Structure 1
Amino acid sequence: MIPIENIPGKYYVNSRCVGCDICLEIAPDIFACNHDEGYAYVGLQPDCEAEENLCMEAMHLCPVNAIEVRE
């Protein structure tokens, strides 16, 4: 299941998210958090190479592999 808050696009956070906030620390302009439910989601899709790199860094550092890319 994919959290409904994910903005449609290439990147998304899946239901494995545990709300650790690592992605928010790395890319706070891209990721957002539903604090009531305890998970992050993509609030804004990246629109430049620097933001893409931050998303990839967050994806690689996510401890539960909750950030995915649609190819």
Structure 2
Amino acid sequence: MADKLSKQPQNVPGVWYVDTSCALCRLCLEEAPNLLNYTSEETAVYFSKQPETREEMAAAERAMCVCPTLAIGNDG
């Protein structure tokens, strides 16, 4: 389960976030490429955009489901 006290600082404000336990596996980026990005150093993944549409919400849910370290959270 994602830790809301360990959120990546690059996450945009909102209910969806990636925490610091991310293993950089790229699986979430395949599911939600319009919502998630690597930092410029490629040392972390973060939500660069919060989902707004039904399709984006589904993509965020899929990204959360495929995360092997459970680093994606939703406080909503």
User: What TM-score comes out, normalization by structure 2 length?
Assistant: 0.86
Matched residue count: 71
1:20 aligns with 2:20: no
User: What TM-score comes out, normalization by structure 1 length?
Assistant: 0.92
Q: Is the 8 A contact 1:18 1:38 kept in 2?
A: no
Moved beyond 3 Å, runs of 4+: none
CA distance in 2, matches of 1:39, 1:66: 11
> Paired residue for 2:55?
50
Correspondences of 1:1-12 after superposition (within 5 Å): 1-12=6-17
Q: Displacement, 1:37? A: 5.1
Q: Displacement, 1:38? A: 1.9
Identity of aligned residues (%): 32
Question: Unmatched 5+ residue regions in structure 1?
Answer: none
Question: Unmatched 5+ residue regions in structure 2?
Answer: 1-5
